[in-house]
Amino acid sequence: MTFSRRLFLQSATALAVLPKAVRASSTDLVARKAIQQIAPDGFPETPVWSYGGGVPGPEIRLAQGARLQRRLVNDLPQPTTIHWHGIRIDNAMDGVPGLTQDVVKSGGDFRYDFLVPDAGTYWYYAHNRSVEQVARGLYGPLIVEEAEPLDVDHDLTLMLDDWRLDPETAHIVDDFDNGHDQSHAGRLGNLVSVNGQFDPAFSVRSRDRLRLRLVNASNARIYDLSLDGLVGWIVALDGMPLETPMRVEDSFPLAPAQRADLVVDVEAQPDKVAGLVSREREGAFGLVRFAVSGQSARTGQPSIAPLPPNPLPAVTLDSAPLHRMTLQGGAMRWLESAHLGETLLSGRELVQLGRFWALNGYAERPQDPFLDAQRGSVHRIEFVNETAFPHAMHLHGHHFRLILADGRLGPWRDTVLVERGQTRQIALVADNPGDWLLHCHMLGHAASGMMSWFRVT
Ligand SMILES: [Cu+2]
């Protein structure tokens, strides 16, 4: 038996209860082993690694500008840390081992304590041996609320994950360092879950208005999302409001670590099912179902107001220097050579060490920063993808603006998808002091060479 998605789609699970916004009362996040039903009913349960006993970990919700305090307690057999993705955070709280903190050893703990300046949809996850720890389930949502809540009937956080499960035992296949995955598209799985469940369903009314907070927690899968029986707008990307909400006409990509906030109206009639669908090369598959019963008195609106802006810096490109970062290596474009520290190694030697990728000729985080920026200075970074695969490039501690093909400034993001053969420019205001990681968010790529960093002083 294989875990075909079609099979999974036929074995529908029970209607899920709409989650209430749980305000975690405890200030501890305990990283520990747990058991969870990830595969459809009838399959065995899956041993996972979790924050607090479930995948995803508890939804942390707080007001914009509030202070987040959580003690990470490590009850796992491996050292770990937590990274708070997309938060323009105090550098010491960024959770990067060897750059901003020491690993938290088994039995140890660490107190995270920082302010959240921006409203939006963020997430947290393990940043030590992420290729294994995130694949085992160490992630959760972090929601920073706007001062005025949106007028919606349901505010739903939907965390997408892609699991590689043994079809007989439903155990996670533990080949995290598989060289074929790492040198190709990364670790792709055979079961997609939403909020740690296969094919969950939510109960809604026709004409209900929903806010969907989509988070891609997958190691490597890029979703191509479209709506079925729903109409609506993207109102924020990577947490940051769009100046003009974008109508969802067709499909839109969601790369690893990226988020999209949607406001959608349920167009499907009572007794029908609406849904969120991913259209990928192998075919389309449903991620979430919305079972429609009854009708709301709402009337659809032709447009929607933007979310209030976050306190982001102004971007002036006039004299901004350009820094090129070349993405190199991987299958079909194998590295001829690259540096590990001071040493230049041949492609063959690098492959033997499990290094398949390089950023500007370095197959690991280099000694010197890619960019040494004066606080407040503006920079253009140009990602040149010379590889045969897409990469989701993520900068820590900052959001940046995409520079569109015609030179205008595009949306704010913290993770940019650079397709194979593509060149993409971003504009960065380096206004957050510290040492910040810059890496590919296909976690197997990061583990096998695609890591760099920049410094702001
Ligand atoms: Cu990559």
The string of pLDDT tens digits covering residues 435-450 is 999 999 999 999 999 9
Ligand 1 mean position, distance from CA 333 (Å):
13
pLDDT band for position 301 (50/70/90)?
A: confident
pLDDT band for position 282 (50/70/90)?
A: confident
Ligand 1 mean position, distance from CA 351 (Å):
16
Q: How many CB atoms lie within 10 A of CB 360?
A: 16
Ligand 1 mean position, distance from CA 96 (Å):
18
Q: Mean pLDDT for the chain?
A: 94
Per-residue pLDDT for 23 more than 80? Answer: no
pLDDT at 110: 97
Ligand 1 mean position, distance from CA 14 (Å):
36
What are the pLDDT digits (tens) for 398-408?
999 999 999 99
pLDDT band for position 4 (50/70/90)?
A: very low
Residue 229, Ramachandran bin (φ over 0: left; ψ between -120 and 50: alpha; else beta):
left
pLDDT at 26: 64
Ligand 1 mean position, distance from CA 455 (Å):
22
pLDDT at 293: 97
Ligand 1 mean position, distance from CA 114 (Å):
29
Q: Which of 212, 210, 201, 173 is nearest to 189 (CA)?
A: 173
Ligand 1 mean position, distance from CA 415 (Å):
12
Which comes out higher in pLDDT, residue 27 or 18?
A: 27
Ligand 1 mean position, distance from CA 400 (Å):
19
Per-residue pLDDT for 141 more than 70? Answer: yes
Euclidean distance between CA atoms 3 and 40, whole angstroms? 10
Reading the block at residue 12, the tokens are 């529908």
What are the pLDDT digits (tens) for 49-101?
999 999 999 999 999 999 999 999 999 999 999 999 999 999 999 999 999 99
Ligand 1 mean position, distance from CA 355 (Å):
12
Supply φ then ψ for residue 445, to 5 degrees: -70, -40
Per-residue pLDDT for 19 more than 50? Answer: no
Cβ contact 325:370 at 8 Å = yes
Sheet holding 357-359, edge to edge: 357-359, 322-329, 377-385, 423-430, 400-403, 409-413
pLDDT at 170: 97
**Residues near ion ligand 1 (Cβ under 5 Å):** 391, 440, 442, 445
Could you tell me which residues come within 8 angstroms of residue 10 by beta carbon, excluding any fewer than 6 positions away? none
pLDDT at 119: 98
pLDDT at 303: 78
Cβ contact 146:305 at 8 Å = no
Q: Characterize 407-418 residue by residue with b for buried, 16 or more Cβ atoms within 10 angstroms of its Cβ, and e for exposed.
A: eeebbbbbbbbb
Q: Which of 400, 392, 338, 346 is nearest to 365 (CA)?
A: 338
Euclidean distance between CA atoms 362 and 415, whole angstroms? 21
Ligand 1 mean position, distance from CA 289 (Å):
31
Ligand 1 mean position, distance from CA 360 (Å):
14
Ligand 1 mean position, distance from CA 65 (Å):
33
Ligand 1 mean position, distance from CA 218 (Å):
13
Ligand 1 mean position, distance from CA 393 (Å):
7
What are the pLDDT digits (tens) for 192-208?
999 999 999 999 999 99
Let me know how many helices (H) and strands (E) the chain has, helices first. Answer: 5, 33
Ligand 1 mean position, distance from CA 83 (Å):
19
Give the count of alpha carbons within 13 A of 209, CB side only: 14
Supply φ then ψ for residue 352, to 5 degrees: -65, -25
Cβ contact 165:46 at 8 Å = yes
What are the pLDDT digits (tens) for 336-346?
999 999 999 99
Three-class SS of residue 151? coil
Q: How many CB atoms lie within 10 A of CB 277?
A: 18
Per-residue pLDDT for 283 more than 90? Answer: no
Give the mean pLDDT of 409-426.
Answer: 98
Euclidean distance between CA atoms 80 and 61, whole angstroms? 23
Three-class SS of residue 431? coil
Q: Which of 423, 426, 384 is nearest to 401 (CA)?
A: 426
Cβ contact 214:259 at 8 Å = yes
Ligand 1 mean position, distance from CA 22 (Å):
34
Reading the block at residue 430, the tokens are 């380096």
What are the pLDDT digits (tens) for 374-410?
999 999 999 999 999 999 999 999 999 999 999 999 9
Euclidean distance between CA atoms 389 and 78, whole angstroms? 30
Ligand 1 mean position, distance from CA 280 (Å):
18
Per-residue pLDDT for 291 more than 80? Answer: yes
pLDDT at 446: 98
Please state whether the predicted TM-score (pTM) of the whole model is above 0.85: yes
Ligand 1 mean position, distance from CA 190 (Å):
20
pLDDT at 57: 98
Ligand 1 mean position, distance from CA 123 (Å):
20
Cβ contact 38:164 at 8 Å = no
Ligand 1 mean position, distance from CA 183 (Å):
9
Is 25 exposed, middle or buried (CB count within 10 Å of its CB: 0-12, 13-18, 19+)?
Answer: exposed
Per-residue pLDDT for 262 more than 70? Answer: yes
Per-residue pLDDT for 114 more than 70? Answer: yes
